[in-house]
Amino acid sequence: MARSSSARARRKGAAAEETPSMTAVRGGASGAGAGAPAGNGAGADAAAAAAELDRIIHERIRLGILSALAVTETLSFNDLKQMLETTDGNLSVHARKLEEAGYVLCEKSFAGRIPRTEFRITPGGRRALQRYLDHMEALIHAVRDR
């Protein structure tokens, strides 16, 4: 249980500020970057930064949900299920994780007697997705520049 709460605290802290290894991967003041040749340090920095990825977003289905919602205002449960080619249970579990993190909003309603669940990305979810994409891009550049 302590591991879970400390991981949650790291995620919340990481959302607000960039870590030193992320700065190194981006070519900041510490580590390889700022004109220094990429040697063994760059690989170590990239590995450290990779360990700091937002684990909530990094799962394939969750990344798919956020990516789809980033380009479409709202999507129904069935639309997402079809797009991601996943099961009801799998989509439900991953969507709930994103909702608990504050990355998506889930609105349930009825169209007549038929239940309808719609999702939309939150401003925090959009920022988290952008940070995740920036982080992945920095990792790709760090590895290619070796």
The highest-level CATH class for domain 57-124 is mainly alpha
The 10s digit of each residue's pLDDT in 32-82 is 333 333 445 555 665 666 667 899 999 999 999 999 999 999 999 999 999
Strand, helix or coil at 82?
helix
Quote the mean pLDDT of the chain: 78
pTM for this predicted structure: 0.67
CB 116 within 8 A of CB 109: yes
Strands (E), the chain: 75-76, 104-111, 114-121
Domain-wise residue ranges, the chain: 2-54+133-144, 57-124
Strand, helix or coil at 94?
helix
